[in-house]
Structure 1
Amino acid sequence: MDICIIGGGLTGLVAALSLSETSEVTVLEKKPILGGCMASYQRDRYWIEQYYHHCFAGDRHLFSLLDDLGLGDRLEWLKGSTGYYVDGTVHPLTSPIEILRYPHLSFIDKARLGVLTLRAKGLDLGSLDDVPAGEYIRDHLGDRVYASFFEPLLRSKFGDRRDEVSAAWLISRIAIRSDRGVEGERLGYLNGGWHLLIDGLEERLLSKGCTIEKGTPAVSLEHTGGKWLVNDRAYDAVLATIPPQEIGRISGDKTFAALPYQGAACMTIGLDRDVTDGIYWLNMKDTAPYGAVVTHTNFAPRDRYSEEVVYLASYFAGKPAQGLKERMLVDFCRRFSVPEGAIHWSELAVESFAGPVYTTGFARIIPAYEERGLYLAGMFSRPNYPERSMEGSIIAGLEVAERIRGGPHD
C-alpha cells in the first residue's frame, strides 16, 4: 500500500514508522524541518526547542519509543519549580513553606487548593466534560481562589474563550502535574534536547525507505477513481495529522467540522542573567503580552548552554497581534530590568494551530480515526484528551497506524 502522511509532527512520524513495516510511506511537512511544535533551533553550542517540552512519569509509550531509538539513557528527571508574578513581585510557590507565605490566598484557600490537588487523579473526568472550569472552581474552592489564582491562568492561556474551557481539562492538568515534592515538580527531559527524538525518527524512517518531503505543504486533496490525490499524486490511503478545518480547506469538503483551536507565539531568548529568581515556571498574574516566563536553564543545567535560556509563552485566536515580538521583548526587559546588552538573541515561533481548546462538550466532537475514507490523527485525537502531550500524540500515531492496516475499529 502506498500511503501519504500529511504533517511531520510526532503523530505523523510515529505512524509512518509503524506503517513503514508493510507499506510505502511518504511524509509531507510544510516547514523546512520536521517536528511540528517539537521542532528546535540550532545554536552555536546547543539545540533548544522552539516550544518548551517535558514529559511525565506515566509516559510509557514515549519511553518505549526512546528505548527503540537508542535514546533511553538520555532521559533524565529534573525538578520544575513554580512561581507567580503578582503586582510586580516574584512569589515562589514550590515548597510548602513558600505556598504558606503566599499573601494572595488565605490559609483556608490554600488548604482547599491542596485538597483539590490531592483528589484530582481520582476524579471522573467524563462527568466534568460539560462543566466550565471557572464554574467548577468557584463552586468548590470559592470566588477568591478563582479570581486570584485560576482566572489569570485561564485568561493567559485561552483569552476570551476561558469561560468555555471544561473542568475536565483543568482537573486533568492539575492531576498530571501532581508528581511533586518539596523541590518542585518531577519532569522528564532529554539530555541534549528533544530534537534527538525527531532526528532519530527521521533517520529510522529514511533507513526503512520512507520518503520525507520537507518544505512541501499539502495544497490539494481529492478522492477519485479509488485513489487519493495529494498535490496531484495518487496514494492508496492518506493520514492527515492537520486540524480537520485544514483538511476541509485543502479538499474543499466543508463537512469536516472545525474544531476549536488556538495559536501559540513562543519567544525564546538567550541572555546573560537569571531574571526569575531560580524559578522554572513563572505564571503571570499581572497583565503582559505573555502568560508565563519559562526559564529553561532553571530546569536543565545551565552549563549545557553557556547562557540563560528563557521562553515567553503567549496564545492567540486567529492571528497573532501585529508587532508581538517587539512588544514581548520590550515588556520583558522593562518588567525584569534587563538591559538591551544582556540579550544575546531572540526568536519568535508562531503556530496558528498549536492545539485544540478543550471547550465544554469537546469529548463529543473528537474525530474518529477514519472519516469518509480519510484517516485522521493528531493533537485532536482521543489519546490527547483532555490534555495534549507527547504521550498522547504517540498513542494516536500507533492507533491510527493499526487502523490503516485493518485493525479493530475505534
Structure 2
Amino acid sequence: MKIGILGGGLCGLVAAHTLAEEHEVVLFEKMPFLGGCLSSYHIDDYWIERYYHHCFSGDRQLFSLIRKLGLWDRLEWHAGSTGYFSRDTLYPLTTPSQILRWPELSLTDKAKLAWLTLKAKKTDLLSLDDIPAETYILEHLGPRIYSSFFEPLLKSKFGKNRSKVSAAWLISRIAIRSDRGISGEHLGYLNGGFHQIIDGLEKSILSKGGKINLQTPVTSLSRKDGCWEINGESVDTVMSTLPPQELGNITGLMMPEIPYQGAACMTLGMERDVSEGIYWINMKDEGPYGAVVAHTNFIPRERYGEHIAYLASYFSGTVPARLDQKMREDFCTRFGLEEREIHWSRMAVDPWAGPVYTTGYRSLIPAYEKHGIYIAGMFSEENYPERSMEGSIRAGYRIATCIQKKEH
C-alpha cells in the first residue's frame, strides 16, 4: 500500500517511520526542513532548537523512541530554575527560601499554591474540561492569587482567549511541572540537541525506501478512481497532521474547526547571561514576550561557546508588525544588554503552533478518520490537555496502528 503523509513534524515522522516497515511511504513537508516545532537551527558548530524544548520524567513513549534510535546514552537530566519578572525586578522562585521571600503573595497565598501543586497530579482532568481556568483559580485560591500570579501567565500565553481556557489545561500544566527538587524542576534534554531525533527518524524512513519531499506544500488533495491524488501523485491512503481546518481548505471537505494560536520565538546568542542564572522567567510586566527561557542556564554554556536565550510570544491571527525588532529592543532595555553583546538572533514564527485548549475542547477532538483520510497531530486525544513531544509521538503511533488495522 502506498501511503501519503502530510506534514513532517514529530507526529508525521513517527507515523512514517512505523508505516515504512511494511508500506511505501511518501511524506510532504512545506518547509525546507523537518521537525515542525521540534526543528533546529545549525549555528556554527552546534544545533539549537527553534523553539525551547525539554522533556519530563513521565515521557515513556519518547524514551522508548530515543532507545530505538540509539540515543539513550545522550539523554541527561538537569534542574530547571524558575523566576518571575515583576515591576522591573527579577525574583528567583526555585528554592523554598526564595519562594518564602517573594513579596507578591502572602504566606497564606503561597501555602494555597503549594496545596494546588500537590493536588494537581491527583485531579480528574476530565471533570475540569468545561470549567474556565479563571473560574477555577478564583474559586479555589481567591482573586489575589489569580490577579498576581495566574492572570499574567494566562494573558501572556493566550491573550484575549485567556478567559476561555479550561482548568483541565491549567491543572495538567501544573501537574506535569511538579517533578521538583530543592534545586528546581527535574527536566530532560538530549546532549547535542533534539534534532538527533528528527535526523534519526528521517534516516529510518529513507532506509526503508520511504520518500520525503521538502519544500512541497500540499496544494491539492482529491479522490480519483478509488485512490487519492496529492499534488497529482497517486496514493492508496492519506494521513494528515495538518490542522483539520487547513486540510478542509485543501480538500473542500467539511473538517472540524479546532481553535489554534500562533507562536513567535526569538532565539539569541549572547556574550553574557542577563537572567541571573535562572532558566525559565515568566514575565508579569507588559511586553512583547511572555517568557524568557535561558537555555544555557539549563544546559552548560561551554557546549555552545556563548549564552543562548529564547523570547517567547503567542498570537492570534497574524503576527504583530515588527515583533522581532520590538522583542530585541525590549530585552536589551529591560535586562541591561548592549546590542553589541548580541552575537546573532533568529525569529521563528508558526501561525499554527498549537491548539488553544478552550472549555469543552474534549468534545472538539476529531476521530482518527474523516472522509476516508486519517488525521492526527497536536489536536489529537494524545495531546490533550497539553501538547508535548510525548503526545505527538503517541499520536503518530496511534494513527499508524489505525491505518494498519484498516489494511488488514
TM range (shorter): over 0.9
- How many Å separate the matches in 2 of 1:250 and 1:220? 6
Counterpart of 1:352 in structure 2 is: 351
Pairing 1:208–2:194 present: no
**Structure 1 position 391, deviation (Å):** 0.6
Counterpart of 2:153 in structure 1 is: 153
Over aligned residue pairs, what C-alpha RMSD do you find? 1.1
Pairing 1:272–2:271 present: yes
- Whichever residue aligns with residue 243 of structure 1, its letter is P
Instruction: Classify the secondary structure of the residue corresponding to 1:405.
Output: helix
Alignment of 1:62-77 (within 5 A): 62-77=62-77
- Whichever residue aligns with residue 32 of structure 1, its letter is P
Pairing 1:385–2:384 present: yes
Counterpart of 1:371 in structure 2 is: 370
Counterpart of 1:82 in structure 2 is: 82
Counterpart of 2:286 in structure 1 is: 287
Per-residue CA deviations over 1:82-139 (Å, capped at 9, x if unaligned) read 0000000000000111000000001010000000000100001000000000100000
- How many Å separate the matches in 1 of 2:226 and 2:351? 33
- Whichever residue aligns with residue 213 of structure 2, its letter is E
- How many Å separate the matches in 2 of 1:369 and 1:156? 32
Counterpart of 1:334 in structure 2 is: 333
Instruction: Classify the secondary structure of the residue corresponding to 2:405.
Output: coil
Instruction: Classify the secondary structure of the residue corresponding to 2:111.
Output: helix
Instruction: Classify the secondary structure of the residue corresponding to 2:305.
Output: coil
- Whichever residue aligns with residue 311 of structure 1, its letter is Y
- Whichever residue aligns with residue 277 of structure 1, its letter is E
- How many Å separate the matches in 1 of 2:172 and 2:61? 19
**Structure 1 position 7, deviation (Å):** 0.2
Instruction: Classify the secondary structure of the residue corresponding to 2:121.
Output: helix
- How many Å separate the matches in 1 of 2:26 and 2:406? 21
Pairing 1:100–2:100 present: yes
- How many Å separate the matches in 2 of 1:340 and 1:276? 16
Alignment of 1:313-328 (within 5 A): 313-328=312-327
- Whichever residue aligns with residue 235 of structure 2, its letter is Y
Runs (5+) with no aligned partner, structure 2: none
**Structure 1 position 228, deviation (Å):** 1.1
Alignment of 1:98-177 (within 5 A): 98-177=98-177
Counterpart of 1:37 in structure 2 is: 37
- How many Å separate the matches in 1 of 2:124 and 2:65? 29
- Whichever residue aligns with residue 348 of structure 1, its letter is M
Counterpart of 2:235 in structure 1 is: 235
Pairing 1:226–2:226 present: yes
Counterpart of 1:179 in structure 2 is: 179
**Structure 1 position 390, deviation (Å):** 0.5
- How many Å separate the matches in 2 of 1:407 and 1:97? 57
Instruction: Classify the secondary structure of the residue corresponding to 1:294.
Output: strand
Instruction: Classify the secondary structure of the residue corresponding to 1:21.
Output: coil
TM-score by length of 1: 0.98
- How many Å separate the matches in 1 of 2:241 and 2:247? 9
Instruction: Classify the secondary structure of the residue corresponding to 2:63.
Output: helix
**Structure 1 position 372, deviation (Å):** 1.2
Per-residue CA deviations over 1:211-233 (Å, capped at 9, x if unaligned) read 00111111111122211111111
Alignment of 1:255-266 (within 5 A): 255-266=254-265
Counterpart of 1:190 in structure 2 is: 190
- How many Å separate the matches in 2 of 1:8 and 1:221? 17
**Mean alpha-carbon deviation: is it higher for 221-230 or for 296-305?**
221-230
Counterpart of 2:23 in structure 1 is: 23
- How many Å separate the matches in 1 of 2:228 and 2:169? 36
- Whichever residue aligns with residue 370 of structure 1, its letter is E
**Mean alpha-carbon deviation: is it higher for 357-366 or for 222-231?**
222-231
- Whichever residue aligns with residue 221 of structure 2, its letter is L
Counterpart of 1:249 in structure 2 is: 249
- Whichever residue aligns with residue 4 of structure 1, its letter is G
- How many Å separate the matches in 2 of 1:117 and 1:399? 31
**Structure 1 position 16, deviation (Å):** 0.4
Counterpart of 1:217 in structure 2 is: 217
- Whichever residue aligns with residue 294 of structure 1, its letter is V
- How many Å separate the matches in 1 of 2:104 and 2:74? 40
- How many Å separate the matches in 1 of 2:265 and 2:339? 20
- Whichever residue aligns with residue 8 of structure 1, its letter is G
Per-residue CA deviations over 1:264-295 (Å, capped at 9, x if unaligned) read 00000000111110000000000010000000
- How many Å separate the matches in 2 of 1:324 and 1:310? 17
Per-residue CA deviations over 1:302-336 (Å, capped at 9, x if unaligned) read 10010000000000001100101000000000111
Instruction: Classify the secondary structure of the residue corresponding to 2:247.
Output: helix
- How many Å separate the matches in 2 of 1:246 and 1:151? 31
Pairing 1:310–2:332 present: no
**Structure 1 position 45, deviation (Å):** 2.1
Identity over aligned residues, as a percent?
61
**Structure 1 position 182, deviation (Å):** 1.1
- How many Å separate the matches in 2 of 1:340 and 1:77? 33
Pairing 1:11–2:11 present: yes
- How many Å separate the matches in 2 of 1:224 and 1:247? 17
Counterpart of 1:300 in structure 2 is: 299
**Structure 1 position 407, deviation (Å):** 5.8
- How many Å separate the matches in 2 of 1:367 and 1:207? 32
- How many Å separate the matches in 2 of 1:31 and 1:339? 33
Runs (5+) with no aligned partner, structure 1: none
- How many Å separate the matches in 2 of 1:73 and 1:369? 34
Counterpart of 1:343 in structure 2 is: 342
